[in-house]
Every structure is written in C-alpha cells, then in structure tokens.
Chain A
C-alpha cells in the first residue's frame, strides 16, 4: 500500500516538474521572444553598437557633469545605526559641494535604495542639478530643464508612481547634446571641478 502511494507520489513529482518547471517557462520564453524581444532580453541599451546597460537598471555616475543617481548598493543598515547616519551625512556634504545653492538635500540623493541599482531619482532631484551641469557643460539652464522635463515619467493614468526621471537615459540624452569637442572640454571642466570639490570636502571633514 505504502509502496503504491510512494510510486504515485513519484509520478506526480515527475509529471509536474516537467509541466510547471519546463513546459510553462519555456512556452513563455517563446511568447516573449515573439511578442516583445527587446523587453524579454532585458531592455538593453546600446550606443554605437556597444551595450551600455539596461534602461531598467540604474548606474552610478561619479562625473559631476552628469546627473547623479542614488548612492549605489544596498545597506540594510537599521534606522538608528551610527553607520547609516555617518553615511548619509557624508552624502549630504558631498551633494552640497556639488550643488551649493540647495539648503536641504532631497532624501533620494543621499540614501541607498532597495535594489542597489535604482534607475530613478525624483524629477525635483534632477532639476536641482541643472545649474551645476549648465556651468560645467555650457549648455543653457533652459535647455537642461527642458531635457529633464522631457525625460520625466509622470504617474500612469495620473495615479500610479511619483514623477521621476530615469538617470541613465537622461545622461545619454545629455551626452548626445554635446559635440565630441564640447564633451571633451566639459569633461576637463568636470575633472577640475571634481578635484576642487574633493579638496573642499576633505577640508570640511578636517574642520568638522
């Protein structure tokens, strides 16, 4: 009796392992490849034929001529962990160096996300970076503001999701605005700016 039951259980395992574990996902691979191959493959972005990432997955931008995304990685620090508070205050100091005009830094720019690769920042957090990027690239603030607005994703059906920008796509569009020679000089500006900002941060930390 038990032997029969065990054999039945074994057959059940094999049958559903094949149906639920192989047939189901493979049929969906087929459907996905026909219906929307780019999305099925991971929404990959290419530039001049080389892969530069996925439009869904965020990247970190250290260069001050680019819009900054959220600090990368996942912390799992508790809300009162001293390490969290130190990290956030360092990020606040850095953001204030980059963007001296702001008094309060939006929380998305100074905290780590849940995925570690959050593709978005709030559109307000992108707009406050416009003066800096305008200085470094020579692109007017008007054009940059329009660019941010163009790349702002508004709530679906007016309800779902807060207004936000995809930082990778915004920066790719920004790079496209710059001619190769302009890009070079902007990068030189940015390097000088970065060195100055770093110096200032170091001095600040020693003073504090």
Chain B
C-alpha cells in the first residue's frame, strides 16, 4: 500500500470534516434564520424569481401541497426534457450532430437526471448535443439537487427544537416548497457551483462551445477530440450529488478530471453538502451533538468500508502468476494520475453519497473491491444525496431507536417525541421500497436481459444487481460492462429510479409531519439518549444487520461467490 495515497485520503477526509461546520452553519442561516447579511445580495434576485413564478414564499403548504408542488415541478421537468431530447437533432448548438434520442432512452435519461440518479444509458460525447448537455443535463442537475435539498429542509422542520430561538424563523409546519427550492439554488447550489467551476477551469477542464476536433496523432492515426461546456456541468455534477458525466467515461476521462487536484476538488464537492446537512440537522434539533453523533457514526462505517476496498484493490490475485509488478495495485480500469488509493477513495465517496460519478471502472475491481460500493448502494448510500440523504439517515435512526426501545422495554422516544405505531409503519414502508425494487427487478433482469451482460458467471450477475441497486438508491454509478441501452433496461431502470425517490419522499415527509405535531416530553433517567456514542454503535448495528439480512443471499450469488470460487 502506498503511504502517499493514504496521506492523500486523510487530507481529503480532514478537509471535508473541517468544512462541515462552517458550511452546515451557512445552510442553517439560508433556510432557517430570519435574516442574513447576504439578503442584500440575494434578496432582490429571489423576490424577482418569486414574482416570475407567481408564488408567495411565506405561505405554509402542509405536506399535501408541498408534495404536490414537488411532483408537479419534477413531472413537468421530466416531460419538457424528454421533448428536447427526442428533438435535439433539429435544435441548435449541436456540433457533434447528435441524433434525436429514441423515446425509451429519452425517458430513461429524463427520469435519471430528475431523480438525481444520473444513470447514463447514452454516451455523452456523441449522443447528446451541447444544447442538451446544458438545458437538459446541467439544468436537471441543479433542479434535482434543489428538490432533494428542499425535501431535506422540510423534513428537518418536523424534528426541529420547539424553543423559539432568537433570529430563527418560527416553524409552523413543513414549510413552502418554492421557498426551499429557490433558496437552495440561489444561495447554495449556484454560488457554490460558480466557485467549483472556476477551480476546475484553472486545472484545465474545458468550457467551450467549439465543436469536436479531428486530428492526426503523433504516429499518424486519425482521432477525434470531443470537448464542450464541461466545467459548468462538472461542478454541479458533484455539488448536487448528481454524477452523470459529460463523457461516457465520466470522471475517469481527463477532460472531466484532469489532475490529482481536480480529483480532490470533486471528492470534497460531493461529500460536503450531504454531511453539512446532518450538521444543520443537529443545530436545528437544539443539540449539535445529535448531528455530530450521526456524522461520526456514518464516517466510521465509511472508513471501515474504504479500508476493505483499499486492501481488496491492492492487487488482483488472478494476475499473480504473470510476470507483472502489482505494487501500484489493481490498475485495470484505473488512471495512473489517481492511482489505486484515490480511485478507491473516489468510488467509496461517490457511493456513500448519491453521486455515482466514477474515476475508475468498478466492473474491473476485484470481487470484494466491487462489493464495497455495491453494499453501500444497498444500505442507501450512508450520507446519500443532497437533502434526500437526511431522509435515509433518519429512517435508520428511527428504526434504531425503535429497536433499542424494544430491547430495554420502554416506549421509544426520539428528540423528546414518542415514536408510535404510525411512524414505525411509515418508516418500515420506506425501508422496504428499495429491497423490493432491487431484488424484484434484478430477478426480472436476469431472466429477460442476460444478453446485456458482459462478464460471465457471478460477475455478470453482479452487473445486473449493481444496476438496480444504483437506480433504487438514485446513485447512478455502474458496472459499466452492462449494455444498458435496451428498451427493457431503459424502462425498468427508469421506473426503479422514479419509485426509489418519489415513494420514499412522501412517506418520510409524513413521518416528519407527524413528529411536528407531537408533544415533547423532557428527558428522564430512563430515556434512551441518542446524543451518546453508544447510540452510534446501535445505529451501526441496525444499518449493517438490516442490510446484510436483506441482501446476503444476492451478495452470495454475486461478489461473495466470485471471491470464494
């Protein structure tokens, strides 16, 4: 194992954890405080936007209208993006001469980017025009992340402290979708994306409307250099936990991720918002320790899985009989400028969040090296997507509190509110959505779409299992040997992404709304405290045991079988 690689990983993790507090505090200010110094800058822009859209941002919506507004906005965006994609051949800004997309591919793409999944059945450099890269892909990267953040913010309101704190807005309900959605864009995603885009530009990521260049290589063969407005897509791709590449080879392609520094920038950008929102959650409960325990617990799982991945990728045992020096690790499918350590770090980060961009080809990872990201997807991606990740984390927290309550024989309580039958039922329903989608559709895929598999045996099975795990978790990374651009897979994966997101959202918002209406009771000696590290241990147990019990059989058929045979 390369010491330098490990040092890089430690520096990256430290950078993220140092940024969490200031960014988390900033997010609290954006969504929950009465006024801020930045109102002078953003206030007029936001008032203009509310006027243009025609909404009153101070109106309390309630869960019903909040979810309805969200579904209408997202639904319309899917329809309009589909229309653009199936007609892009007729539209301007198309120097690559990309053809109109077939309807199954357009459906898959629109669903994929609206749900923050960014699964790609197309190759960006040849199948999408520059106009579509901008007004379909980049546009949905912003709005899907803003939708996720809006839901996350609304969700926090149910769990927020009831004490009226000076400077904070009064919480009267779940909030207003347009207020949350617009502020996520104006004060977080757009300004952050401008900063990250410029950092990437400086490192050499292209940003041009110039078309592809045909040229002769040094040794005289003819080649084409594809380029385009890459930096503006690449920044929001990571900040928004999106993950879809401008190029088919995603962040492995040098134009998306040209240097070791851009790799660091992309890793930090994808981790920062989901983790900072957990910190903001803690602040809003009135006890920052509630957030810090969650961040610490999930980071522990992250580090353990990262270590397993690093060990697994330190060599490919199947090549050990050849005269190959594997001291730099299993480099098949990996780039020299990142090396094995920063490839594994990127893959674990991308599957610990809802991102799904890749800087190396997971299909060529060793069996256990590939099982790490797969397991992360199955447990819902730890920190998960911007905003939507809070729902996943709190789902596990509620289950952990419930199970701990059963063990000590007291009625379970979280943040001073009793967890009752209604919340437990809704949470379990939300939990069950992903296993049903993953296991059901993988079975269907194995029956109807075996011709899409590239690799034989267990590894081929894992390609299919990974695809539906990625779609259900709204992640978007892939075992890319799978030929996903078939009508069957385009429709089934598209449906999996939609159900994986839009069933979970209302269920967990109902849980939050129910918490909002509960009386709070003060802690007593018998209360099981969630702001103690012992709770972190129970949470790890619940996440690992539920994940393992649900998915152990398919993991045996896939990566574990491959590792053992």
Contact = CB atoms under 8 A, between A and B. Distances in A.
B216 A50 contact: yes
B204 A114 contact: no
B333 A74 contact: yes
A118 B217 CA distance: 15
Counting chain A CB atoms within 10 Å of each CB, the highest count among B205, B231, B324, B460 belongs to: B324
Contacts of B2: 162
B185 A16 contact: yes
Contact of A113 (B252, B328, B562): B252
Nearest to B45: A19
B456 A81 contact: yes
Given A21-B138, A77-B455, A161-B337, A8 B53 contact: yes
B335 A54 contact: no
16 contacts: A15-B53, A17-B139, A20-B185, A24-B142, A28-B207, A52-B216, A53-B215, A74-B480, A76-B455, A77-B481, A88-B319, A107-B332, A114-B333, A159-B8, A162-B4, A162-B339
Contacts of B205: 39
Contacts of A74: 249, 333, 361, 480
Given A17-B139, A79-B366, A110-B324, A122 B336 contact: yes
Nearest to A16: B143
Contacts of A198: none
B206 A115 contact: no
A121 interface: yes
A76 B232 contact: no
A160 B339 CA distance: 10
B524 interface: no
Contacts of B325: 104-107
A164 interface: yes
Contact of B328 (A76, A84, A106): A106
Contact of B336 (A33, A108, A168): A108
A42 interface: yes
Nearest to A18: B135
B318 A5 contact: no
A11 B54 contact: yes
B76 interface: yes
Contacts of B227: 41-42
A60 to B, nearest CB: 8
Given A39-B206, A57-B255, A75-B332, A25 B138 contact: yes
Contacts of B55: 8
B542 to A, nearest CB: 32
Interface in B199-244: 201-202, 204-210, 213, 215-219, 221, 223, 225, 227, 229, 231-233
Nearest to A37: B208
A40 B201 contact: yes
Contacts of A10: 76
Nearest to B341: A162
Contacts of B194: 24, 28
Contacts of B455: 76-78, 81
B219 A62 contact: yes
B345 to A, nearest CB: 12
B328 A162 contact: yes
A70 B335 CA distance: 10
A196 interface: no
The range of chain B's interface size is 35 or more
Interface string A110-125: 1111111111111000
A62 B339 CA distance: 24
Contacts of A121: 336
Give the interface residue-count category, chain A.
35 or more
A28 B69 CA distance: 31
Contacts of A50: 215-216
Interface in B319-350: 319, 322-339, 343
Contacts of B138: 20-21, 24-25
B261 interface: yes
A76 B223 contact: no
B555 to A, nearest CB: 16
Contact of B361 (A20, A76, A106): A76
Given A59-B223, A115-B252, A164 B364 contact: no
B332 A13 contact: no
A115 B327 CA distance: 21
B456 to A, nearest CB: 7
B264 interface: yes
B49 interface: yes
A29 interface: yes
Contact of A108 (B190, B233, B328, B366): B328
B209 to A, nearest CB: 6
A191 interface: no
Contacts of A12: 53, 73, 76, 178, 181
B193 interface: yes
Contact of B201 (A32, A56, A155): A32
Given A50-B216, A57-B255, A114 B358 contact: yes
A138 to B, nearest CB: 20
B193 to A, nearest CB: 7
B253 interface: yes
A205 interface: no
A182 to B, nearest CB: 17
Given A24-B232, A107-B329, A162-B337, 13 more contacts: A13-B76, A15-B52, A20-B143, A28-B197, A28-B229, A31-B207, A32-B206, A92-B322, A104-B325, A111-B332, A113-B336, A115-B253, A172-B218
